[in-house]
Structure 1
Amino acid sequence: MNDKDGRQRGFEVVSAYMEKGIELPARKTGSSAGYDIQAAEDVTLLPHQVTLVPTGLKAYMQPDEYLGLHVRSGFSIKNQVSCINSQGIIDADYYNNPDNEGHIMLPLINHGEKAVKIARGMRVAQGIFYRYLLVDGDRAGCGAGRGGGFGSTGDR
C-alpha cells in the first residue's frame, strides 16, 4: 500500500458511512499502543450471542502487516464482552476488497446475562498494527488475491 503519496498505514471511512460523521481512530496518549475504534451505529449485544458491530472504517497497511483488533479493557470487564476470536485480524489485502470495501466489523460476544447497549460513537475496541514474519518457502503471494470480504480466505 506504500503508494506514491507516501502513505504506509492508516484508517479511512468506507463510502457507505462517508456522510455519517465517523471519527478516524486516534491514540489517546503518547504511550498508547492502540488506536481507539468507535461503533458506527447503535447496537445491542444480546446475552450469549455474537454480534458484528460496524465501525464504518477500513485500514490500509504494508503487505507484511496486519491490524489486530482488541476490545477495550474497561468496556470488556464492565460488560463481560470479548472478541469472539480473542483478537480480530485484519489482513492487508482486506482493504478495498470487492465484497465490502474492507469495512471493519467487530465480532463481539456478550458472556453476561443482560443485554449490553453500545451507542454510536462509543469507543469499543483498539486497533494495533503489527508486522509479521514468513517461513522459508512461503508461497501464499503466488496464487490468486483475496476475492471477498469478511472470512473470505476460507474455512480450510
Structure 2
Amino acid sequence: MARGFEVVSSYANQALHVPYRATKQAAGYDFESAVDFTVPSIWKLDFLKVLWAIKHQQTATPETVEKAKRILKPYLIPTGIKAYMGADEVLILANRSSNPLKRGLVIPNGIGVIDADYYNNDKNEGEIFMQVLNFSLFDVQIKKGERIGQGIFMHYLAADDELKPQQDRQGGFGSSGK
C-alpha cells in the first residue's frame, strides 16, 4: 500500500476511526480527536494583561515575553493516528473551515507538515497531533470523535542542486531541528 492511516498502538482498543473523506471529491481526510479535550481561551490566560504590559512599558521585560510565550503556546490534540506514505510525499494538516468561524480554533502556523519519516519513529510511533490556539472568548470542549482538522497527501519536489540530507530522523514531534 502506498499511503494511508493506522491507529497507534497506545490507542489500539479505543474504537478510533482512521481519517476519512466525507464526500466523493473531498481532498482532505477528516481527523478526529482521540480524547475529550479542553482548549482554553487565550483571553482567560491573562493575555490582555501581557498586551497591556508590552504596550505601556515600551519594551517588554524578559518575564513578560516568557508569559506571552506560555499563553500563546499551542495545544496539541491527540488523534491516535499515524500516516504512511511514499518517500516523495508529505501529509499536510489543515484546519477545518468551520473551526475558526464556529469555535475560534486556529492552527498557529497555518498548516502542519507530516514527513514520510515521521511514521513509526522511536519517539512516539508517529502519532499525529493537531496544534491549535483558541481565540474565542470561551474554552472550547472537544469530544472524542469530533472532527478537528484535515489532512491532504501531496507529492513534493526537491531542488536539483540541493545537498542531499544525510541525517535520519531521530525522534518525534519537532525533532528535525529548531
CA distance in 2, matches of 1:136, 1:67: 22
Q: What does residue range 7-156 of structure 1 map to in structure 2 within 5 Å?
A: 7-48=1-42, 49=72, 50-141=74-165, 143-155=166-178
Q: Which stretches of structure 1, 4 residues or longer, exceed 3 Å deviation after superposition?
A: none
Contact 2:99-2:106 at 8 Å conserved across structures: no
The superposition leaves residues 67-102 of structure 1 with CA deviations (integer Å, 9 ceiling, x where unpaired) of: 011121112211111111110110000000000000
Partner SS, residue 99 of structure 2: helix
How many residues align? The count is 148
Kindly indicate whether the alpha-carbon contact (under 8 Å) linking 2:34 and 2:78 is maintained by their aligned counterparts in 1. yes
Structure 2 CA distance, aligned partners of 1:139 and 1:145? 15
Partner SS state of residue 140, structure 1? coil
Distance 2:162 2:81 in 1: 30
Shift of 1:138: 2.2
> TM-score if structure 1 supplies the norm length?
0.91
CA contact (8 A) 2:105 2:136 kept: yes
Instruction: Give CA-to-partner distance per residue, 1:30-66, whole Å, 9 cap, x none.
Output: 1101011000001101112521000000000011111
SS across alignment from 1:76:
helix
Percent sequence identity is 45
Q: Which has the higher helix share?
A: 2
Do 2:80 and 2:127's aligned partners in 1 also have CA atoms closer than 8 Å? yes
SS of equivalent to 1:152: coil
What is the TM-score normalised by the length of structure 2?
Answer: 0.80
**Counterpart residue number, 2:47:** none
Q: CA RMSD in A?
A: 1.0
Q: Aligned partner of 2:21: which letter? A: R
Unaligned 5+ runs, structure 1: 1-6
| Structure 2 portions without partners, runs of 5+ | 43-71
Tell me which residue corresponds to 2:68. none
- Structure 1 or 2, whichever has the larger Rg, is 2
